């Protein structure tokens, strides 16, 4: 049996296109700024942020992957790069011999601290300064709904 496609109506179409344009432009802009000012892509910045917030500035690879919304493979490659940049180091997990622990180095923390103000300023300028407080709230609710549905958590 043929199932009819539920096409997007004009409002949805317009919303979807605007969303695509906006989110792509936003992430491209922030990525470029971060690359220029801190020498790392946004994905790597986020890894450093998550490590910096963890107790002891360290996390199991799996936990870090989940926190950063990354696949294990992606994280493996990323941490390899971050390690060779001297921002992260790997340690063996004492309780699970399969495990690896990613530890933020002092150098990594300093780099993050240096990059953070500029990046936050970018997020503010490109996102929050453009929205009313009510819109920020709307965006939060929408995003939380979508995140929950998509990540199943």
> Which positions lie near DNA, rule CB under 7 A?
28, 32, 35-36, 40-41, 43-44, 60-62, 65, 70-81, 90, 93, 96-101
Work out how close the CB of 114 gets to a copy of itself at its nearest, in angstroms, rounded to a whole number: 12
DSSP string, the chain: -PPPP-PPPHHHHHHHHHHHHHHHHHHHHHHHHHHHHHSS-HHHHHHHHHHHHSGGGEEEHHHHHHHTT--HHHHHHHHHHHHHTTSEEEEE-SS-TT-EEEEE-HHHHHHHHHHHHHHHHHHHHHTGGGS-HHHHHHHHHHHHHHHHHHHT-
Q: Is residue 93 within the footprint of a copy of itself (CB under 8 A)?
A: no
Q: Is residue 31 within the footprint of a copy of itself (CB under 8 A)?
A: no
Q: Is residue 80 within the footprint of a copy of itself (CB under 8 A)?
A: no
Name the one range near a copy of itself by CB under 8 A: 23-31, 33-41, 85-93, 95-103. Answer: 23-31
Rg over CA atoms, the chain: 19
Q: Among DNA, a copy of itself, none, what binds residue 22 when CB lies within 5 to 8 Å by partner kind?
A: a copy of itself
Of 93, 110, 114, 123, the one binding a copy of itself by CB under 8 A: 123
Distance separating alpha carbons of residues 137 and 118, to the nearest angstrom: 24
Q: Is residue 23 within the footprint of a copy of itself (CB under 8 A)?
A: yes
Distance separating alpha carbons of residues 133 and 47, to the nearest angstrom: 28
Of 6, 36, 97, 98, the one binding a copy of itself by CB under 8 A: 6
Which residues are near a copy of itself by CB under 8 A?
A: 5-8, 11-12, 14-16, 18-27, 29, 46, 69, 116-117, 120-121, 123-124, 126-128, 130-131, 135-147, 149-151
């Amino acid at each position: 049996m043929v199932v009819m496609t539920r096409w997007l109506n004009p409002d949805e179409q317009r919303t979807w296109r605007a969303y695509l344009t906006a989110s792509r432009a936003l992430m491209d802009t922030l990525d470029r700024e971060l690359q220029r000012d801190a020498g790392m892509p946004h994905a790597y910045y986020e890894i450093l942020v998550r490590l910096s917030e963890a107790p002891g500035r360290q996390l199991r690879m799996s936990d870090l992957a989940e926190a950063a919304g990354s696949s294990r493979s992606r994280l493996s490659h990323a941490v390899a790069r971050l390690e060779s940049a001297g921002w992260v180091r790997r340690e063996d997990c004492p309780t699970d011999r399969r495990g690896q622990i990613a530890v933020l180095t002092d150098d990594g923390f300093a780099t993050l601290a240096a990059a953070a103000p500029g990046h936050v300023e970018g997020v503010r300028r490109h996102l929050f300064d453009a929205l009313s407080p009510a819109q920020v709230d709307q965006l939060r609710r929408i995003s939380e709904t979508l995140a929950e549905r998509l990540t199943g958590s």
